[in-house]
Copies of this chain bind each other. A is one copy, B any other.
Amino acid sequence: MISSYVHGYDPVESGRLDDQARTLEDLLHHDTRFPTGSRVLEAGCGTGAQTAILARRSPGALITAVDIASASLAAAKQRLHELGLGTVHFRQADCTCLPFADHTFEHVFVCFVLEHLARPEETLLELRRVLKPGGSLTVIEGDHGSFYCYPQTPAAGKVVRCLIDLQAASGGDALIGRRLYPLLVQARFENVRVAPRVVYVDPSRPAWEEGFSRDTFIAMVAGVEKAALADGLIDPATWRRGIDDLTGTIGQGTFHYTFFKALARRPL
């Protein structure tokens, strides 16, 4: 009866496929593939988590990955080497002042970087400079303000708020996903298209409960415990209750988060 009811899109089957095949990598990266021979810059590669995905998905692209931190670069290089993805060129550089001539790259890729910057506009203008006219910019960022859950308790809200406040205190913006469109327009990119990439988790999606709710999001929140307590943003009892409440959604409640992926072009 169900099968005769839904035409085209079957939520039951779609949900099963979600759990089997779709991972966060797939959700965020499935439509990013750079052509063989094209020059690609990854700006702010950190320890290479995204670099490995890029290199695997675009094996023929000529990828240069830069980061300001030499320790991160060394870790990235090691990671790619261990994965047998040794073709990426790494270089230490500040994304606000890149050691590349104008119009060097066909594509620029930035993932989970702008959220850490006090002036993302400046970095976007610098990335625009090194792009060829007509070249593409891809940006992926989260937005911690998009998070909610059920049951949602005051303590759960407060621990997530700590993450946002700490990011703001260090000059970043954990709510940057919602700003991508205006930021890219201000930096004079054209054909700016932003799309939400939504994570919805309930007990019918156990792989997402473990892989996203517990091991990604709650782990990220838990990681700022010391900083949040040291800054007096929260008291220890509320902190513990908040983490327990977030974890308590697993197996019975729901969990919601939205990433944003933007694609834009440097004008010809």
Contacts and interface: CB of A to CB of B under 8 A. Distances in A.
A204 interface: yes
A239 interface: no
Given A35-B5, A182-B252, A200-B195, A148 B146 contact: yes
A11 B195 contact: yes
* Most chain B Cβ neighbours within 10 Å, of A2, A7, A134: A2
A181 B194 contact: no
Interface in A217-260: 252-254, 256, 258
Interface stretch (A26-34, A66-74, A83-91): A26-34
Given A35-B5, A148-B146, A204 B181 contact: yes
A35 B30 CA distance: 35
A179 B30 CA distance: 30
A99 interface: no
Contact of A258 (B5, B11, B191, B198): B198
Interface string A190-215: 01111110101011100000000000
Interface string A149-184: 110100000000000000000000001001101100
* Most chain B Cβ neighbours within 10 Å, of A9, A11, A34, A145: A11
A256 B180 CA distance: 13
A265 to B, nearest CB: 6
A178 B150 contact: yes
A256 B178 contact: yes
Nearest to A261: B11
Contacts of A14: 193, 195
B12 A31 contact: no
B135 A1 contact: yes
A118 B20 CA distance: 37
A33 B7 contact: yes
B11 A193 contact: yes
B178 A152 contact: yes
Contacts of A254: 178-179, 181-182, 194
A77 interface: no
A135 to B, nearest CB: 6
Given A14-B195, A33-B7, A258-B198, A136 B178 contact: no
A11 B263 contact: yes
A193 B258 CA distance: 19
A5 B34 contact: yes
Given A5-B263, A6-B32, A185-B203, 5 more contacts: A5-B33, A6-B263, A12-B193, A12-B263, A195-B200
